[in-house]
């Protein structure tokens, strides 16, 4: 798969549009889903996907092979999505939410039943900051190692781990709150 | 933060999500497995993380743009090439790709809204014969794969209990109505359409 990806990029760098077709079909679903996990708007997500693929086409020759192709493409998607969020909400930070007070975080066992309810989990994931949602998506949907996630979102590995830690705590609080309200 | 506290080890807690997605290196994996042996807290955390991972994996979103998106991309590459006088669109020129898409999408939506308004107006007139036999409105929007045959589209629509109300729009979108709203819900039709993702590339509520 990796060799195929790189071969496609090499051909795209030479202007081969059939390689673009193959590359697009290979990555479009993954990239769209990643963007969509950060943007709650399918039109915006389609626009950003288009921008990402356009940039991949234009810059295929600049891929240096220091990361996997998927890390490179998802990294472009990450930055394009953040640009879109900033344009949509000027002045709004897209970095970590202020660290939440972590007292009263329930035990994992207490929130397990709520974590098995798809609607509750969806609701709570949607409440996370963009930075936290990205890490959760890349770790649990893409099943990527923390080192690769750090490459995509452009931060140290330790930051990825702590973002995931805080995201989990936020999810637990949210799920426990829904449980208290009798919604799970 | 990293100190061990009772049966908790916060440094190892940070690794649990990557134990769950099975991407830890051998050394870290062994450390986590030893931690799980001795810590009920760690085992509860892993159960929770596994449940969360499963839900994240199973979350459904609408279909990606598919071939419609590829066609759009190729149009923009071609447009960029023509504007720049280059040969392959690799000019480094930044293109605001959303510019043509938004007005077109808005225009398409407006066209549907105007059409809907006209229909509502007409159906509201006494003695009007524009109302469909079942009186049901377009409730779904879909796009079809460019290589889908008429037979495939017909089969999908019949299995979803839907028919084409109007379209395609400039973006290739069709509006669908339910053939029998009392026998099929919108959710059921939507699920059937989305399950046929080789034929239906996009399906959403109207």
Query: pTM, whole model, 2 decimals?
Result: 0.64
The answer to whether the CB atoms of B18 and A49 lie below 8 A apart is no
Return the pLDDT at B97.
43
Over residues B77-118, the pLDDT tens digits come to 888 888 776 655 555 444 444 444 555 555 554 555 555 444
pLDDT of residue B132: 39
Neighbours of B69 (CB within 10 A): 20
| Rg of chain B (C-alpha set) | 26
Cβ-Cβ contacts under 8 Å, B72 against chain A: 50
Say which residue, A59 or B132, is predicted with more confidence.
Answer: A59
What is the pLDDT, as a whole number, of residue A146?
96
CA distance B206 to B157: 16
What are the tokens at A149? 């996630």
- Cβ contact, residue pair B97, A136, below 8 Å: no
A139: closest CA of chain B, how far (Å) = 7
- The answer to whether B74 contacts A49, with C-beta atoms less than 8 Å apart, is no
Residue identified by tokens 């990606």 is: B64
Give every strand in the sheet of B138-144, ordered side by side. Answer: B162-166, B174-178, B138-144, B200-205
pLDDT tens series, chain A, 184 aa: 455 889 999 999 999 999 999 999 999 999 999 999 888 888 889 999 999 999 999 999 999 888 899 999 999 999 999 998 888 765 544 443 444 545 567 788 778 888 888 888 888 998 898 899 999 999 999 999 999 999 999 999 999 999 999 999 999 989 888 877 765 5
CA dist., res. A15 & res. B123, Å (int): 54
> Which one of B18, B89, B109, B187 would you mutate to disrupt binding with A, by most A Cβ within 10 Å of its Cβ?
B18
CB contact under 8 A, A42 and B101: no
Query: Nearest by CB to A140, which of B21, B45, B101?
Result: B21
Compute, in degrees rounded to 10, the torsion defined by CA atoms B52, A67, B72, A43.
30
CA closest to B42 among chain A residues: A108
pLDDT of residue B123: 41
Q: DSSP letter string over B19-78? A: HHTT---HHHHHHHHHHHHH-HHHHHHHHHHHHHHHHHHH---PPP-HHHHHHHHHHHHH
Distance of CA A41 to the CA centre of its chain: 15
Q: Is the ipTM of this complex over 0.90?
A: no
Asked if residue B17 has pLDDT above 70, the reply is yes
Q: State residue A156 phi and psi, 5-degree precision.
A: -65, 155
Residues of chain A contacting B91 with CB distance shorter than 8 Å:
58
Whether B97 sits inside 8 A of A25 (CB atoms) is: no
């Amino acid at each position: 798969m990796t060799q195929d990806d790189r071969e496609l990029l090499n051909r795209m760098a030479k202007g081969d549009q059939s390689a673009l077709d193959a590359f697009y079909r290979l990555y479009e679903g993954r990239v769209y889903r990643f963007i969509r996990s950060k943007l709650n708007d399918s039109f915006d997500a389609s626009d950003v996907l288009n921008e990402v693929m356009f940039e991949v086409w234009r810059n295929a020759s600049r891929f240096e092979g220091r990361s996997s192709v998927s890390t490179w493409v998802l990294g472009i998607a990450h930055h394009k999505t953040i640009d879109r969020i900033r344009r949509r909400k000027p002045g709004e930070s897209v970095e970590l939410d202020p660290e939440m007070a972590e007292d009263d975080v329930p035990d994992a066992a207490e929130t397990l039943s709520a974590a098995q309810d798809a609607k509750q989990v969806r609701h709570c994931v949607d409440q996370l900051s963009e930075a936290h949602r990205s890490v959760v998506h890349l770790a649990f949907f893409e099943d990527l190692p923390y080192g690769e996630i750090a490459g995509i979102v452009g931060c140290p590995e330790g930051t990825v781990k702590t973002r995931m830690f805080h995201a989990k705590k936020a999810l637990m609080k949210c799920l426990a709150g829904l449980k208290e309200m009798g919604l799970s | 933060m990293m100190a061990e506290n009772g049966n908790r080890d916060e440094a190892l807690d940070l690794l649990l999500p990557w134990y769950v997605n099975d991407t830890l290196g051998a050394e870290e994996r062994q450390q986590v497995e030893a931690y799980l042996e001795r810590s009920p807290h760690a085992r509860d955390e892993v159960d929770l993380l596994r449940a969360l991972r499963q839900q994240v994996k199973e979350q459904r979103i609408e279909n990606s743009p598919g071939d419609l998106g590829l066609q759009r991309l190729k149009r923009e590459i071609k447009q960029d090439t023509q504007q720049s006088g280059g040969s392959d669109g690799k000019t480094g020129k930044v293109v605001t790709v959303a510019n043509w898409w938004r007005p077109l999408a808005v225009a398409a939506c407006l066209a549907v809204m105007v059409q809907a308004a006209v229909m509502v107006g007409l159906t509201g007139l006494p003695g009007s014969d524009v109302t469909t036999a079942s009186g049901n409105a377009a409730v779904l929007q879909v796009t079809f794969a460019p290589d889908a045959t008429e037979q495939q589209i017909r089969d999908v629509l019949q299995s979803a209990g839907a028919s084409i109300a109007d379209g395609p729009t400039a973006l290739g979108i069709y509006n669908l109505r339910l053939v029998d709203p009392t026998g099929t819900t919108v959710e059921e039709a939507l699920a059937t359409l989305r399950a046929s993702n080789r034929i239906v590339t996009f399906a959403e509520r109207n």
